[in-house]
Amino acid sequence: MAMMSGTCFGNMLESKGVRVSGWAQMSYTHSSNNVTNLPGVTFNDRANSFLFQQFWVNIEKAIDTESNEVHGGFKVAFLAGSDYRFTLMRGIFNNQLKNTRSDFEEPNGFRQNLYGVDLPQFYASLWLPGVMGEGTEVRVGRMFEPNGFESVEGPTAPLLSRDYDFTWAPPFFHVGIALLPKFNKNLSAFLMLANGNDVFFDGSDELRFVGNLIWQSDDGSDRFTIGTSLGRGKFNAGRPNGPAEGITTIGLAYEPFGRNNFNDFDMVYVRKWDDFFTTATEFTYGYQQGVPAGATGSTSNFNGGSGTADWWSITQYFIYNFTEQVGSIARLEVFEDVQGSRTGFEGVYYAGTLGLQFRPTNSVMFRPEIRYDYNEESRPFEGKHGLFTAAADLIFKF
């Protein structure tokens, strides 16, 4: 925006209230695995590899929630990079996930298309002042899952690597119509009718409710969110999206056994103790009915038939900022994939991550971290119980 300021195009954008922003994120991950860090570490999932993860551009006209006038806005986000595999929904741009070349080092035996593009968000919005309290924003389109502490966006995620709760417990995206009422200065909500979890319109979508309730204290030091993605909650074995359909690159849209219509419940409590120290606690529970044993960690589950699979997680964050330029984060997590329906391996995962954030300018962020994952019951990490990674990313914002 600074570069365009004063130009004809820049003046036109400013007059319309339109803003263009974004970032470029790249990373390197050293790993005790050889090929992939899945299922523990996603986004920076490639072992001992450099990734250009996100070239992200936002074009938006934001809603002013303090305004007393009806007005509209919009947002479109463009992504190019390796993270497209974890943002691409079923039913949109999925041809990028097709690769028929064999690669027996990969978990599913196929070469992975590491780079591609996506439109992670696109929606139109309308601000209605005085409706349901102080006012309500109406959105129509594709939106982020509103619950949870972590983020798809690289700069707003607390660490380079994401936790199990974010990766495996809830969905990432929804398409539909949402109401975002601002009841008062302490209470707000997100209320959405969506066509499913992480799905566009491909015939497997089905109606569900997505929403949350957010409370924060007068001074903003305490914030509590409770939310859900709630629908029929039944696995659709008749709608696979995997190698039989030509989809071979592992990511969000990769569902070789059928469509996941799981239900999810999430709670987050964030406490800002002072200007330096913040803690956050998140708990999630999810389940899905009618899951075939072949889509779990063992074909002996449900006596070889189908049944209800469930999972839960708890994650604790400790965030300490030494200065405005230097901060630190510790993340401790427990995730139990009871039947192995989410990760493909049964058991309790334990993970601990320590990271630093260096922000020499407002436009540059450097984040090194070390992490260890462990599953005593199964061997999900290339035949091992544990996984060690040391990684760092570099982000340039514009």
pTM of the model: 0.94
Residue 15 has pLDDT above 80, yes or no: no
Residue 3 has pLDDT above 70, yes or no: no
- What residues does 374 pair with on adjacent strands? 350, 386
- What's the pLDDT band for 288 if we cut at 50, 70, 90? very high
Q: How large is the average pLDDT for residues 212-232?
A: 98
Residue 4 has pLDDT above 70, yes or no: no
Name the residue ranges covered by the structural domains of the chain. Answer: 23-397
Query: 23-397: which CATH topology?
Result: Porin (2.40.160)
- CB-hemisphere CA count at 13 Å for 219? 6
| Three-class SS state of 94 | helix
Please report, rounded to a whole number, the percentage of residues in the chain having pLDDT higher than 70: 98
- Residue 1's pLDDT is 63
195 phi/psi in degrees, rounded to 5:
-95, 10
Q: What is the DSSP letter of 70?
A: -
Residue-wise pLDDT tens digits, 267-278: 999 999 999 999
Q: How large is the average pLDDT for residues 305-327?
A: 98
Residue 2 has pLDDT above 80, yes or no: no
Residue 24 has pLDDT above 80, yes or no: yes
Residue type, 205: D
Is 179 in contact with 201 (CB distance < 8 Å)? Answer: no
Least confident of 9-18, 77-86, 317-326, 327-336: 9-18
Residue 54 has pLDDT above 70, yes or no: yes
Residue-wise pLDDT tens digits, 34-45: 999 999 999 999
Residue 7 has pLDDT above 90, yes or no: no
In angstroms, the CA 351 to CA 344 distance is: 17
Pick the residue with more confidence: 110 or 7?
A: 110
- Residue 12's pLDDT is 72
Please report, rounded to a whole number, the percentage of residues in the chain having pLDDT higher than 90: 96
- Residue 319's pLDDT is 98
Give DSSP secondary structure letters for 220-277: SSEEEEEEEEES--B-BTT--BSGGGT--S-STT-BTT-B---EEEEEEEEEE-SSSE
In this structure, the dihedral spanned by the alpha carbons of residues 177, 288, 45 and 89, taken in order and rounded to 10 degrees, is -30
- CB-hemisphere CA count at 13 Å for 163? 34
- What's the pLDDT band for 16 if we cut at 50, 70, 90? confident
Strands 347-361 and 326-337: antiparallel
Q: What is the 3-state composition of the chain as percent helix, strand, coil, each rounded to the nearest 5?
A: 10, 50, 40
Q: How large is the average pLDDT for residues 335-346?
A: 98
- What's the pLDDT band for 10 if we cut at 50, 70, 90? confident
Pair of tokens at residue 289:
């009915």
Residue 13 has pLDDT above 90, yes or no: no
Q: What is the DSSP letter of 98?
A: -
State the residue for tokens 């302490």: 186
Q: How many CB atoms lie within 10 A of CB 69?
A: 7
Strands 222-230 and 208-216: antiparallel
Pair of tokens at residue 24:
């470029």
Average pLDDT across the chain, whole number: 96
